[in-house]
Chain A
Amino acid sequence: MGSQKRIAKELSELVESPPEGIIVELADEANLYKWKVFMEGPEGSPYQGGKFIVNLTLPTEYPFKPPTVSFGTKIYHPNVTNDEKGSMCLGMLRADEWKPSSKIAAVLQFARQLLQEPMPDDAIEGRIAEQYKNDRKRYDEIAKEWTRKWAVSE
């Protein structure tokens, strides 16, 4: 199928010239559709210094359906579900907004940008979004603490 060829090309491009703060590998060498991504917390964000594992899964209908993105590392963020799934689903990752002409690299950059600038109005975790808007200081503290606790390997 043409989609495998495309995925392989996208992967090799990402491996050869990775975007800033993003390292990509296959979760399982035999499966092109499951990627393991190491994402550095952007500078200036409370996630700075952390290294987050992001699981990227490509549906069999790719590129006609969007990849799914979930955080394998616990993260305190209004747009990431605060559970063991760590799902992120908004903007270009939604089926109705997804464009088959998008690169996976763009998806990953979008996810990293979201660490820099959360989108509280499109939040999954309403409580964190509320805090982000009204009590940024407290939000920063908790996010930093979670980063230290879960995303920094000793």
Chain B
Amino acid sequence: MSLSKLSWNHFGPHHPFPEKQKFHGCYQDALAPPAFLRPLGLSISAAFAPGPSTMSNSSNMNTLSPDEMQRFQKLSNEFEPDVPGLLVSPKQSSHNIALEYANADPAFATKTSALAVTHPMSRTMKGDGNCGWRAVAFGYFETLFSLRDMLRVEQELARIKSLTYTLDRVGYAEHLYEMFIDATEEVFAQTSEAIQNGDQDESFLVNAFNNEYKSNSILMHFRLLTSAWMKLNAVRYQAFLPVPLEQYCASEIDTVRTEIDEVGLQALVDGVIQGAGFGVEILYLDRSEGDAVTPHQLSPTCPSDATIRLLYRPGHYDIIYRAEQTVNMAPVVNYQYAMTSNYSPWDQGALSFDVNSHLMSIPNLMADPAFGMGGAPMSPIPSVSPTPASPYRLSPTQDMYQSPMQSHAPVPSIPVSSPTPAMPSAAPPPMTSLPSRSSDGPQIRLNPLVMKPNLNHLPVTAPFKNSPYNQAHFRNQDFEPIHWEPNDNRR
């Protein structure tokens, strides 16, 4: 449990859609302007537009006749704040968030601008009191869909259904909750169907979550599961609650439109989401120091392909999407180096060229038996063959939420794991047997195009196909880099 570590800096500009609005539906409330009207600067007469005669003195509402009181009561009961927008919006650019804060406190302006770069896409939730719940529930299904794994969907459906026993254990009656579960199952079925149909985008989920009945039902299901989880694990949460847990669940979790708080969110993640192996991370947009939003991880792990990211602004949650990950090149391993065993560790000083990652990632560079043997003739370039499978292969059509493993890698587009060429059965000559690599050793001049990303997408014309500039050659298993020999033409 890391609740105690959370930082709750709930400062900042008012979110345009304040959420905490209690609706009292009783007469005495008509005596004073409802609390949610006051900050808007509306007088009750303006808000309710009564007949001309009665409201000249709006402060003295006790003089109203019962009929008028009733009319006001009715209006008050039926009043719903006009919160614009869909329950769940389509994905949109995070620059919109930056724009909202452009004239706000510089701390927010800086952070939102930075956010738009690191997390370029976002999805807003309607600020109706359910935004946090809805963000997590939507994020859950969206993540599940993005994995495109039918088996996973089946597993998750079974897991969520199996949690039903916790509802029974804490005393919810089946006929009271089954309609909520039905709605969740329906969306699971839609998810499977979308995967089978090869749907490219998650618009079916956006539609489902914009259906008030379905949306409410799913959220209620998740709320009840969270409530049951908390009751069954009371010891984990009670210390963080100002009231007895039963009471907390009754007033904060089991209700229809009470916004989620920190403890509730942690319990939702622990009890409902985490079992899926999904991560949940919140980015806090607050006034804390630094130029970036403060991330906080709610789950033990945040798998790169299955993490729900929430943007928290005081009183409101939205979903936010990280920039597609660059292929993780961190450990640039020269596999050939790893395969040959018994020579001394690299000594960069002994090499006449930079051991940089780009060089190191050129297949066969180090182990090529011809390396450094002087003027290995270029073998005739074979025609481009279909490229072998590689974990870093770029997939052609990706306009959805992408799993980072498949993403367009902006940086290194050099395949690092092309199969090694057929090697002589003997171990390659140890590096030390190469001709002296001091000043006059072989030098390598890389084709500048090697360094350019995404050349895979160059149009392949017939002449280009066979040109040495065609980068696809690098994937060919017989590819060898050109060794520039100063001796030949420069001396």
Contact = CB atoms under 8 A, between A and B. Distances in A.
A126 B69 CA distance: 15
A84 to B, nearest CB: 10
B255 A2 contact: no
A100 interface: yes
A83 interface: yes
Contact of A124 (B26, B256, B258): B26
B28 to A, nearest CB: 6
Contacts of A6: 175-176, 178-179
B220 A96 contact: no
A9 B256 contact: no
B183 to A, nearest CB: 7
Contacts of A123: 28
A89 interface: yes
Interface of A: 1-3, 5-6, 9-10, 13, 61, 63-65, 81, 83, 85, 87, 89-90, 93-103, 123-124, 126
Nearest to B25: A89
Contacts of B251: 97
A101 to B, nearest CB: 5
Given A2-B183, A6-B176, A85-B70, 11 more contacts: A1-B213, A6-B175, A10-B175, A10-B176, A63-B179, A65-B256, A87-B26, A94-B26, A95-B256, A98-B256, A99-B254
B150 to A, nearest CB: 26
B27 A103 contact: no
Interface in B171-219: 172-173, 175-180, 182-183, 212-213, 216-217
B256 A64 contact: yes
Interface of B: 22-28, 66, 70, 172-173, 175-180, 182-183, 212-213, 216-217, 220, 224, 250-251, 254-258
B301 to A, nearest CB: 32
Contacts of A95: 23, 25, 256-257
A93 B23 CA distance: 11
A90 B26 contact: yes
Nearest to A13: B175
Nearest to B220: A100
B220 A103 contact: no
28 contacts: A2-B180, A2-B182, A6-B179, A10-B176, A13-B175, A63-B176, A63-B179, A64-B216, A64-B220, A85-B70, A87-B26, A89-B25, A94-B23, A94-B24, A96-B24, A96-B258, A97-B255, A98-B255, A99-B250, A99-B256, A100-B180, A100-B220, A101-B172, A101-B177, A101-B254, A103-B173, A103-B176, A124-B26
B84 to A, nearest CB: 20
Nearest to B217: A2
Given A1-B213, A89-B25, A83 B183 contact: no
Query: Considering residues B24, B182, B256, which has the most beta carbons from chain A within 10 angstroms of its beta carbon?
Result: B256
A9 B17 CA distance: 38
B22 A96 contact: yes
Contacts of A99: 250, 254-256
A81 B22 CA distance: 21
B310 to A, nearest CB: 24
Contacts of B254: 99-101
A89 B250 contact: no
Given A64-B220, A81-B27, A2 B179 contact: yes
Contacts of B172: 101
A89 B27 CA distance: 9
Contact of B257 (A2, A13, A96): A96
Nearest to B181: A2
A104 B271 CA distance: 28
A61 B162 CA distance: 28
B25 A124 contact: no
Contacts of B25: 89, 93-95
A57 to B, nearest CB: 13
Contacts of B175: 6, 9-10, 13
B256 A100 contact: yes
A97 B250 CA distance: 8
A10 B175 CA distance: 8
A109 to B, nearest CB: 15
Nearest to B171: A101
A124 to B, nearest CB: 5
Contacts of A65: 256
A3 B25 CA distance: 23
A83 B177 CA distance: 36
A63 B216 CA distance: 10
A90 B26 CA distance: 7
B173 A96 contact: no
A-B residue pairs, 4 tightest by C-beta: A2-B179, A9-B175, A99-B254, A89-B26
Contacts of A61: 212
Nearest to B183: A2
A101 B176 contact: yes
A145 B353 CA distance: 106
A129 to B, nearest CB: 10
A82 B183 CA distance: 42
